[in-house]
């Protein structure tokens, strides 16, 4: 057992989610890794199923398993290990799909060579590979190579994109990039991770409207712990391109991400220890916070039980059919 498993308050909360969660789940954004130096450590799909089963009260879960995008993958030997590990995980877990890492200098040929298993159905890019020290300010071109788009378009693959820069989707360069590439490569499917990284809720308000007619732009809701941005994306773009996700093993950290001024902050274990309150103070893990935020967004949007099944399973199953 890891030291960040769910606490009794999470488990109490899980009981209250019983009537909300559909009978089967498809996690559109979770991570596994062969490398123990990832923060989350060496994690497998089996770890995920064991760690999260209490929260989902034993429901069956399919996953889009994204390789943990650590800097170590820039080493060719580590990249090779990650591919063998992912392939073995796919063999052990039929019904799941995986995303392999792409690097900024990759050609289409480099990307295609990594697709060594039929369940490798997506590509992951990440800002930490951008050639600059302040990678949180990187433009998407600095960490998502054109070759990835070409391969995704040829093969109908998914690309999971975690936007950076303080404005996320409110940054005009990020937004214009998404619009331009989605139109240029219509057979590729772009998932804007973390509801277009709207940890600062305001960043999707009025901006995601520009993406509503781009049918190949999708959203995973992983890691978002407040309902406003989830509701706004659902309201503006519709349920059909939105998917629940957890960002496991991040989902098993205590605390939550909150909007703070025009930025965001992750309340973590250290903060929780220093909080002082006159009333009983409790905390959940990110997984529980995310489910409650999504539940609230669904209620506020008057979603039907069919819509909720689509969010938690059918949309992802259709995307990766």
Which positions touch Zn ion (CB under 5 A)? 247
Main-chain phi, psi angles of 158, to 5 degrees: -95, 145
Considering the complex, what minimum distance in angstroms separates the CB of residue 183 from Zn ion? 26
Main-chain phi, psi angles of 35, to 5 degrees: -100, 130
Main-chain phi, psi angles of 275, to 5 degrees: -70, 135
Q: Which is nearer to Zn ion, 167 or 223 (CB)?
A: 223
Beta bridge partners of 101: 124
Let me know if 98 is exposed, middle or buried by CB neighbors in 10 A (0-12, 13-18, 19+). buried
Q: Which is nearer to Zn ion, 28 or 308 (CB)?
A: 28
Q: What strands, in cross-sheet order, belong to the sheet with 217-220?
A: 25-32, 61-67, 97-101, 120-124, 158-161, 189-192, 217-220, 242-243
Q: Which is nearer to Zn ion, 73 or 303 (CB)?
A: 73
Considering the complex, what minimum distance in angstroms separates the CB of residue 250 from Zn ion? 7
Q: Which is nearer to Zn ion, 293 or 303 (CB)?
A: 293
Considering the complex, what minimum distance in angstroms separates the CB of residue 255 from Zn ion? 16
Q: Which letter does DSSP use for residue 254 in this model?
A: B
CB 154 within 8 A of CB 119: no
CB 224 within 8 A of CB 286: no
Q: Considering Cα of 88, then 89, then 92, then 93, what sign does the dihedral take?
A: negative
Residue number, nearest CB to Zn ion: 247
């Amino acid at each position: 057992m890891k030291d960040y498993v769910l606490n009794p308050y999470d488990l109490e909360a899980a009981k209250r989610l019983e009537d909300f969660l559909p009978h089967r789940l498809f996690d559109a954004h979770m991570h596994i890794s062969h490398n123990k130096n990832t923060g989350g450590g060496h994690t497998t799909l089996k770890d995920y199923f064991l760690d999260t089963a209490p929260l989902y009260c034993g429901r069956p879960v399919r996953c889009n398993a994204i390789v943990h995008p650590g800097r170590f993958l820039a080493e060719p030997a580590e990249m090779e290990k990650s591919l063998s590990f992912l392939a073995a995980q796919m063999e052990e877990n039929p019904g799941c799909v995986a995303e392999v890492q792409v690097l900024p200098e990759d050609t289409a040929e480099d990307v295609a060579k990594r697709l060594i298993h039929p369940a490798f159905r997506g590509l992951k890019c990440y800002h930490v590979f951008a050639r600059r020290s302040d990678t949180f300010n990187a433009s998407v071109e600095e960490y998502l190579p054109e070759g990835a788009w070409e391969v995704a378009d040829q093969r109908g693959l998914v690309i999971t994109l975690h936007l950076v820069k303080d404005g996320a989707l409110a940054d005009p360069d990020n937004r214009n990039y998404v619009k331009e590439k989605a139109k240029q490569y219509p057979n590729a499917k772009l998932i804007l991770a973390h509801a277009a990284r709207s940890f600062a809720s305001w960043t999707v308000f009025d901006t995601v409207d520009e993406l509503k007619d781009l049918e190949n732009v999708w959203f995973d809701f992983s890691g978002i712990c407040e309902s406003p941005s989830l509701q706004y994306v659902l309201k503006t773009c519709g349920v059909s391109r939105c998917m629940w996700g957890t960002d496991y093993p991040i989902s098993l950290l205590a605390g939550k991400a909150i909007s703070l001024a025009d930025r965001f902050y992750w309340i973590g274990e250290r903060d929780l220890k220093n909080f002082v309150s006159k009333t009983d103070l409790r905390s959940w893990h990110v997984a529980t916070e995310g489910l409650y935020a999504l539940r609230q967004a669904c209620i506020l949007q008057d979603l039907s039980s069919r819509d909720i099944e689509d969010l938690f399973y059918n949309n992802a199953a259709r995307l990766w059919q």
